Amino acid sequence: MSTESLIFEKGAPGRAIPLLPALDVPEKPLDQLIPASYLRAEPAPLPEVSEIEVVRHYTRLSQRNFGVDMGFYPLGSCTMKYNPKINEDMAALPGFARMHPLVDDSLAQGAIKLLYELEQYIAEITGMTRVTLQPAAGAHGEITGLMIIKAYHESRGENQRNVVLIPDGAHGTNPASATLADYVTVELKSDKRGGVDLEHLKTTLAEHEGRIAALMMTNPNTLGLFDENIVEIARRVHEAGGQLYYDGANANAIMGITRPGDMGFDVVHLNLHKTMSTPHGGGGPGAGPIGVAKHLVPFLPGPLPAKDESGYFWEDAGPQSIGRVRAFHGNFLVLVRAYTYIRTNGPDGLRHISDSAVLNANYIMRGVEADYDLPFNRECMHEFVLSADRQKALGVSALDIAKRILDFDVHPPTVYFPLIVHEAMMIEPTETETRETLDSFIALMRQIARETRDEPQTILEAPHFTVVGRLDQTLAARKPDLRWNPSREPATVS
Amino acid sequence: MSTESLIFEKGAPGRAIPLLPALDVPEKPLDQLIPASYLRAEPAPLPEVSEIEVVRHYTRLSQRNFGVDMGFYPLGSCTMKYNPKINEDMAALPGFARMHPLVDDSLAQGAIKLLYELEQYIAEITGMTRVTLQPAAGAHGEITGLMIIKAYHESRGENQRNVVLIPDGAHGTNPASATLADYVTVELKSDKRGGVDLEHLKTTLAEHEGRIAALMMTNPNTLGLFDENIVEIARRVHEAGGQLYYDGANANAIMGITRPGDMGFDVVHLNLHKTMSTPHGGGGPGAGPIGVAKHLVPFLPGPLPAKDESGYFWEDAGPQSIGRVRAFHGNFLVLVRAYTYIRTNGPDGLRHISDSAVLNANYIMRGVEADYDLPFNRECMHEFVLSADRQKALGVSALDIAKRILDFDVHPPTVYFPLIVHEAMMIEPTETETRETLDSFIALMRQIARETRDEPQTILEAPHFTVVGRLDQTLAARKPDLRWNPSREPATVS
Amino acid sequence: MSYVPNTPAEQQAMLREIGATTIEDLLKPIPADVRLQRPLKLPAALREMDVRRLLVGMAEQNADLDQYISFLGAGSYDHVQPSIVPHLVKRSEFYTSYTPYQPEYSQGMLQATYEFQTLVCQITGMDVANASLYDGSTSVVEAALMAAGPGGRGEVIVSRALDPQYRATLQTYARTRGFTVREIGLEGGITSAKELRDALNKDTKAVIIQHPNFFGALEDVHAIEKIVHETKALFVVTITEPASLGSLEPPGAYGADIVAAEGMSLGSPIGYGGPALGLFATRNEFVRRMPGRIVGKTVDDRGQTGYVLTLQTREQHIRRERATSNICTNQELLAIFTTVYLSALGKQGFSELGSQCIRKSHYAQQAICALPGFSLAFDHPFFDEFAVNCPIPVETLNAELRDRGVIGGYDLSRDYPELPNAALFCVTEARTREDIDTLVTVLEEIVGAAK
Amino acid sequence: MSYVPNTPAEQQAMLREIGATTIEDLLKPIPADVRLQRPLKLPAALREMDVRRLLVGMAEQNADLDQYISFLGAGSYDHVQPSIVPHLVKRSEFYTSYTPYQPEYSQGMLQATYEFQTLVCQITGMDVANASLYDGSTSVVEAALMAAGPGGRGEVIVSRALDPQYRATLQTYARTRGFTVREIGLEGGITSAKELRDALNKDTKAVIIQHPNFFGALEDVHAIEKIVHETKALFVVTITEPASLGSLEPPGAYGADIVAAEGMSLGSPIGYGGPALGLFATRNEFVRRMPGRIVGKTVDDRGQTGYVLTLQTREQHIRRERATSNICTNQELLAIFTTVYLSALGKQGFSELGSQCIRKSHYAQQAICALPGFSLAFDHPFFDEFAVNCPIPVETLNAELRDRGVIGGYDLSRDYPELPNAALFCVTEARTREDIDTLVTVLEEIVGAAK
Ligand SMILES: Cc1ncc(COP(=O)(O)O)c(C=O)c1O
Ligand SMILES: Cc1ncc(COP(=O)(O)O)c(C=O)c1O
């Protein structure tokens, strides 16, 4: 496939697509309506292109991108499952997509009902009391949860609690959110089984006695392992006066099997763009609703969807609420997709999803374990982490392996995360893959292990068949070129 | 891009997507409702696949296909112009897409109105009196037109008229339609200017005196040339008692400039999938409405859309009508697109389209004439025909050139048509291409002419970058393999 | 608005480049006396949003099947369209491409068509299928033409229970082409075997029946096949309701020579009846006499599997006046709708489709015929349509239903004067039990009020 | 229904292959006392068509902007979405992909994002933009945090004419993070320059104003800029109605340090307010302090141009607790909506967008204020929104309008007790003259009847 120039390099002066409706009110000079000093001197220097140019450009760009619809995407921690098309159709219904956020509740009965019920479903799935649907993503849920925890401690006069414990395997958003909430992060070590080191937890709790605000963790954790000590961990943190925050990025492993609420967590977020398959959209939008235990309900942001005999309505938050965490009602059209997904799958379907996700991960793990290091060799949940240490010794890194995978219409696993595994490769197949796909991925991983020994050069020079080769990241960071600029690159249009 | 196996080679026994609604009436055994002897012994042996398999398979297949949205498509005689997306949206409106064809007229007022108006627009564009929208494509229009002509002659007791004159450059559907109408085809020669040879016309008319049923022709003809003698041709054929049929495949050249009705034609078809940009859909559906002059109106198929004070309705055809040429009302959703297109462009827009199509064709013609033979060197209309005779002498055929073009994300021109030009390459850029695209195509054609001289092997081995190379057509025809068969190729699913 | 990208200034520059001043210079070959001397009389151009408003307004003046509860079939069937079908078919790589004459650029369309041909064979039980014809009615025409052969004379026998619009279409072509269409009558709602036997003669080129027939009734296909094949005539089976193939014995199993069917209800939008999808399948021995485009599998110069248009010497662009048909543009994109639809439904789903239609239609039939004054017109097995004698004229009944948001059964008196009060109700899987119960309640109401 | 492809039999075989008998064997690590011992209490699974019916029914209970004539703005704006925008953005290569961490597989998304960053700069006049934040309100939060710096203390001044929901959101974060938000009042519908001058002090990290402000009024941005930049505070300009940039002077031209805006009305669906699109642009010198993902241009090992995520050391996945922000998932797909939208509208179209909004809103304002009892709340230039004092309570007025199919202006008394009877009307290019005339007629009717 040939390259594709920038939209700014296309078109010609004067080209335009008259997409707006024809003006049907008097065409008064603008400066009779607004003093000229407020107005632009020149039109914004946007592209001047025709419709066919726009269509071809973005169609071609799309063809330079890989998504779940093209092939296997076992990107650990991201739950890249099939995104049902029906969900897209429902989110595009004019009754949802063409709603103004400030209409009177009487004109939004379907929408508020949907959110009201979705809140209940999420509460049930996570084992929490109530839920806010405002957060736009997991990290937004995290900061919202931490703000709630903070407000809770303050309501009890415990303003001194400023420490958040975070396992060393945690995702970067966890410590970043803690900082944003004005907390100090203290890292918890993992033990040999890949779970929280109980001894280290004990000493850390003791060390920060009286100052523990919360523990944030995933379970299954970022190694894909379920921490069996979760009840004890929860008990100890609670005894130390801390709250437990559940990072739900890995919830695809547990639906109908176990619930964060039952494990002892006080706040839980779900990444609906992962677990509930609202598509990830190349990086967003997502939705990161959080559920809270009973004692934290008064602190939830508002308004919340409510219902009485006359119908559904938005209920303002109470006096202890932390307040809004964004404008309007959350990423509504994402929530419509999640609602559709939950209704389509039902309770047994969600359980079957998690069971199947776990099975698929274990199946691949057992298929590749002979060829790669498996730092924690026990049943995994919905994903697992390999190490390419053995390959690294032969000069082939996890990154190289990822690049070689690109040659086979398969998206590589997450690499170099979690940080606690050398040359980590985090593999999450999800439940929507066929056995054939899993088998061919296993075969590919084995082939690459063989190539590492027999023809490492093939790997080091990979990818061979992509539209671009390995890109110079250093150059990009050292001399940032973050936008097109007419002066530097004139649009050469004849 | 790797290959893609057949859908039949995917899946596994028992896989299924439960897409139908849940059964909500009693699940009686079928043979209590219908005697078993009428029922299938076995379910039809269709694929057993999951949703993700279907989605990936057809997404990947789409990526192995080239359309106007990907790049330049100067396929002569096919008018591969940009297909506006708004037309697709309008055709998808539930009020059009979800209508049953037999609903009472009172429930179809918008649809009948649309067809009523579209008929009028087409009549105005072609200069005819009335139009039937039933024909599904150009060839269907042709046979419909010939049936009308036949009925007309018969109504005048001239059953003996059985000869249809067709210029030697005509499209294959013209003679095929004549045969289907039980007519004998007589070929008219082209003269040196690329038009109908008037002398030959005269002698042919004389030879078949009293037996001339019709002349079928395009104007501009398949060489892209306007036949200046059209008025005389029409007069002579009419004098000989024949009718004139206008093959409207080239109407993109003439909108608002000249009209077949004014040239003297009695029946005209338009290929809406060409001129009116209802997309070609990989081969169909199209729509081939025909317009007729006043004396032929009684013979039109029915019913026709009509209007009175109480609204729009379907009016049955009169006693002289040839009858239906298909079930229902034509390719309705295609007609919705054409209607949208005409309303979007308006009279000036349609004229501008034809002007621009003519300009673009002449522009390319002048850009490449130095490197290729131009058998008829005069102003062309919306397309023109080159000959690769010069290249052929160096061992490179029109087909080879087409294959080389495939290497550049450009669709090749039509080759080997019309039959009257050796090594024909028929180039129709359409009006929706930018000057840059035309320039780069000219440059490409020149490059290929150079390669013919300097490195013919590159051309003979082309295409180099397509998902498949040149395919064995002989094998395909000699040992037809027209369907997948389980016995021959077992679906090897582990 | 305009889709022409080049600005007037650019067009001027281009003209200059080729030595012209105005576009008129290029139009010189057109004699002045055929030039249109005025603008076209058409409504002025609209911008996109304005044209959208216009069309949305027109669409709203039509009854759409999501807003009305419809029991109309009679040749056009409302089945569920799974969400993935339009998502995949409407990818622009498919719909903005032309006929795949350049196979290297068209492997997607070609392979999908090869799959389509296979799927048509799988549901009909036939050997081979083409890439589509215009619609069911013209498929029947092509079947008759193929049976009649190049000479095109002789006689074709059709059942009176063949869709009236199909019969009309066939008549139109027959009149022009020069063969005879002889219609044979019915006995208790199905084709009369006796009349058929009497009608067959040495000039009979084909016998065309519809199964399920226009009344939804199942024909005695085995008996008919035997009668037909006692002669040299070809046995042509027409299907307007292809969902029936989910449950009924396929034509290949009962000896059909040609299947000429309408396929649009297999995944395509119902669209006021068009674009439609003519299906055409036959036996191996007839393959070189088949009309229409055909895709075949082959190999490329690198040894890879690939697909091409094949047996093109049957077609008009090669064979011209001796082609087997004049068809060029067909209904390709609808073939892809059907391909994705049948693949997605798959073995289980397609079977379930048939059985849901049977169960729901029988549930409805029993409930309707339990109402006083309503009775089955024919006591014959049916698939998802059935003719009911009504206590009041169907036109009156349907007008009343309409006012209540229900579209009633087809008024058979429009085509069959011998059935003055019969309505043809169709019930597919797309109707819910609630829909059916509503119909029954409303029917009772109307007839009660009429008394 | 289920999207799990493997059948129970296949799953059994897979289990066997890895030495397990049931899935329970794999779930052993989960202690029994945290296992859920019952099925989830959720409604039973629905099949696709049934779920479709359910959701269609719910959607129909909402007012959609094609059915009602709406004059609501107040932070969410109804602009025309050209047909090509969803056609292109909804290509599954885009929406089924993840964050482009593997650039070789993500050039489409990366290049489109680079174009997005450029387009945001082009309309705002700023140097550099990121790849999106959650929404306008959290963009404002990020601007405040960036201004406050890693320490996160100090004070941020906001205008009372900043969207009330944005102020509330900022308060929430400020309380947790530990900085102060000081609100300054209004003078005649715009930010009081005097109050601003008085409020500024050495701890002021940023001054945040909205332009056009919440009342649609144009702020005196030049004057404010001068006042702000007499201190070290950053000048943050918030825009909730980005269409205004089609006509108004861009913030880069009047000295803004940060633009924190809501971009969803540039091509994305209005969707009950979400997903939204936080725009964030700043000056070159702040680039390494910017929050969020950024795409940069580079070259590959073959010398070709390519695009990558860059400056990642600002981000949480690298810098963890020292990151500039905690954002990970952003609103990427909406950035692509905006990219296609702005490219398609282009130079002429975007300019026309602005001027149509101005002309239509002024046409409406004049007609409304010509009605007895209606008058402009503030005599100030505005873009496409204006506050009108009404003769009856806005709540009553709007209820009456609703019954006539019209959605009236936003009731300002909900947030501004000092404006008890003021409605904020918004008129964009998506409203027709007929819509506006209908509003005026209906207002007259209602107020007439109320007398
Ligand atoms: C374990 C974990 N936690 C948190 C997040 C952050 O979620 P989001 O990207 O939705 O903000 C992620 C996302 O990748 C994650 O994998
Ligand atoms: C000149 C000419 N005539 C007739 C036709 C037949 O039209 P259709 O394919 O719509 O049947 C074509 C199609 O390519 C054509 O180019």
Its pTM surpasses 0.95: yes
Tell me: the pLDDT tens digits for B429-483? 999 999 999 999 999 999 999 999 999 999 999 999 999 999 999 999 999 999 9
Task: Compute the distance from residue A244 Cα to the ligand 1 centre, in Å.
Answer: 17
Q: Is the CB of D329 under 6 A from ligand 1?
A: yes
C-alpha C69/C-alpha C443 separation (Å) is 13
Least Cα separation, residue A244 to chain D (angstroms): 15
C-alpha C151/C-alpha A426 separation (Å) is 70
C-alpha D291/C-alpha D148 separation (Å) is 13
What are residue A268's phi and psi, to 5 degrees?
-140, 130
**Contacting partners of chain B (3+ CB pairs under 8 A):** A, C, D
Q: What is the mean pLDDT of residues A426-449?
A: 98
List the single best residue of D42, D410, D439 to mutate versus A (max A Cβ within 10 A): D42
What's residue B210's pLDDT? 96
D176 contacts in chain A (CB < 8 Å): 143, 146-147, 150-151, 180-182, 322
Q: Are A40 and A6 in contact (CB under 8 A)?
A: no
- Of A307-316, B386-395, D320-329, D381-390, the one with minimum mean pLDDT is D320-329
Q: Tokens for A294?
A: 């009973």
Q: Which of the four pLDDT bands, split at 50, 70 and 90, describes residue D1?
A: low
Inter-chain touch C346–B17, beta carbons under 8 Å: yes
Tell me: the pLDDT tens digits for B308-358? 999 999 999 999 999 999 999 999 999 999 999 999 999 999 999 999 999
| Closest residue by CA, ligand 2 atom 5 | B138
Inter-chain touch C106–B351, beta carbons under 8 Å: no
What's residue A348's pLDDT? 97
Ligand nearest to the Cα of A334, by number = 1
B51 contacts in chain A (CB < 8 Å): 82, 84
Name which of D7, D47, D83 is nearest B85 (Cβ-Cβ).
D83
Inter-chain touch C5–A52, beta carbons under 8 Å: yes
Pocket test for ligand 1, best of A75, A77, A325 (most atoms within 8 A of CB): A77
Task: Compute the distance from residue B173 Cα to the ligand 2 centre, in Å.
Answer: 7
Tell me: the pLDDT tens digits for A248-287? 999 999 999 999 999 999 999 999 999 999 999 999 999 9
Q: What is the ipTM of this complex?
A: 0.97
Tell me: the pLDDT tens digits for B77-112? 999 999 999 999 999 999 999 999 999 999 999 999
Q: Chain-wide mean pLDDT for chain C?
A: 96
Predicted confidence (pLDDT) at residue A489 exceeds the cutoff of 50? no
Chain A residue closest in CA terms to B86: A19
Q: Is the CB of A173 under 6 A from ligand 1?
A: yes
Least Cα separation, residue D232 to chain A (angstroms): 23
The angle subtended at Cα C124 by Cα C120 and Cα C127, nearest 5°, is 75
What's residue B1's pLDDT? 46
Task: Compute the distance from residue D316 Cα to the ligand 1 centre, in Å.
Answer: 10
C-alpha C3/C-alpha B86 separation (Å) is 12
Q: Are A434 and D6 in contact (CB under 8 A)?
A: yes
Ligand nearest to the Cα of A136, by number = 1
C-alpha D49/C-alpha C441 separation (Å) is 24
- Helix or strand or coil: residue B190? strand
Residues 381-440 of B with CB under 8 A from A: 408-409, 432-436, 439
Q: Is the CB of B252 under 6 A from ligand 2?
A: no
Whether chain B has a CB inside 8 Å of the CB on A28: the answer is: no
Name which of B11, B50, B71 is nearest A56 (Cβ-Cβ).
B71
Task: Compute the distance from residue A251 Cα to the ligand 1 centre, in Å.
Answer: 11
Least Cα separation, residue A478 to chain D (angstroms): 9
C-alpha B208/C-alpha B213 separation (Å) is 10
* C-alpha distance from residue C34 to each of A400, B231, C29, C394 (Å): 70, 8, 11, 53
| Closest residue by CA, ligand 2 atom 10 | B138
Q: Which of the four pLDDT bands, split at 50, 70 and 90, describes residue D315?
A: confident
Inter-chain touch C326–B143, beta carbons under 8 Å: yes
Q: Is the CB of A249 under 6 A from ligand 1?
A: yes
C-alpha C188/C-alpha D70 separation (Å) is 60
Predicted confidence (pLDDT) at residue A490 exceeds the cutoff of 50? no
pLDDT above 90 coverage of chain D, percent: 94
Q: What is the DSSP letter of D322?
A: G
- Helix or strand or coil: residue C434? helix
Q: Is the CB of B144 under 6 A from ligand 2?
A: no
Please identify which residue in the block is written with the tokens 């297109």: B341
Q: Which of the four pLDDT bands, split at 50, 70 and 90, describes residue B490?
A: very low
The angle subtended at Cα B177 by Cα B174 and Cα B183, nearest 5°, is 105
**Contacting partners of chain A (3+ CB pairs under 8 A):** B, C, D
Q: How far is CA B481 from the centre of its chain?
A: 27
The angle subtended at Cα D221 by Cα D219 and Cα D224, nearest 5°, is 105
What's residue B410's pLDDT? 97
Q: Tokens for D343?
A: 């490219």
Inter-chain touch B45–C383, beta carbons under 8 Å: no
List the single best residue of A1, A51, A62, A69 to mutate versus C (max C Cβ within 10 A): A51
C-alpha C330/C-alpha B282 separation (Å) is 9
Q: What is the mean pLDDT of residues A45-52?
A: 98
Inter-chain touch B333–C175, beta carbons under 8 Å: no
C-alpha D210/C-alpha D158 separation (Å) is 9
What's residue C1's pLDDT? 63
For β-strands A212-217 and A243-248, DSSP reports them as: parallel
Contacts of A488 (CB under 8 A, 6+ apart): none
For β-strands B212-217 and B163-167, DSSP reports them as: parallel
Inter-chain touch B14–D7, beta carbons under 8 Å: yes
Q: At CB < 8 Å, which residues of chain D contact B?
A: 1-7, 9-10, 46-50, 53, 83-84, 87, 92
Pocket test for ligand 1, best of A247, A268, A276, A334 (most atoms within 8 A of CB): A247
Ligand nearest to the Cα of A249, by number = 1
Q: Is the CB of D328 under 6 A from ligand 1?
A: yes
Inter-chain touch A60–B70, beta carbons under 8 Å: yes
Q: What is the mean pLDDT of residues A415-442?
A: 97
Chain B residue closest in CA terms to C126: B483
Predicted confidence (pLDDT) at residue A468 exceeds the cutoff of 90? yes
**Contacting partners of chain D (3+ CB pairs under 8 A):** A, B, C
What's residue B488's pLDDT? 53
Q: Are D108 and D94 in contact (CB under 8 A)?
A: yes
What's residue B493's pLDDT? 34
Task: Compute the distance from residue A62 Cα to the ligand 1 centre, in Å.
Answer: 25
Beta bridge partners of D158: D183, D208
Q: What is the mean pLDDT of residues A187-216?
A: 96
Q: What is the mean pLDDT of residues A332-360?
A: 98
Q: Are A21 and C47 in contact (CB under 8 A)?
A: yes
Q: What is the mean pLDDT of residues D39-54?
A: 97
Inter-chain touch D49–C87, beta carbons under 8 Å: no
Q: What is the pLDDT along chain C (451 residues), one digit of tens a residue?
A: 689 999 999 999 999 999 999 999 999 999 999 999 999 999 999 999 999 999 999 999 999 999 999 999 999 999 999 999 999 999 999 999 999 999 999 999 999 999 999 999 999 999 999 999 999 999 999 999 999 988 778 999 999 999 999 999 999 999 999 999 999 999 999 999 999 999 999 999 999 999 999 999 999 999 999 999 999 999 999 999 999 999 999 999 999 999 999 999 999 999 999 999 999 999 999 999 999 999 999 999 999 999 999 988 888 888 888 888 899 999 999 999 999 999 999 999 999 999 999 999 999 999 999 999 999 999 999 999 999 999 999 999 999 999 999 999 999 999 999 999 999 999 999 999 999 999 999 999 999 887 6
List the single best residue of A48, A81, A83, A102 to mutate versus D (max D Cβ within 10 A): A102
What's residue B337's pLDDT? 98
C2 contacts in chain A (CB < 8 Å): 18
Least Cα separation, residue A124 to chain D (angstroms): 7
Name which of B11, B63, B439 is nearest A494 (Cβ-Cβ).
B439
Inter-chain touch D34–A231, beta carbons under 8 Å: yes
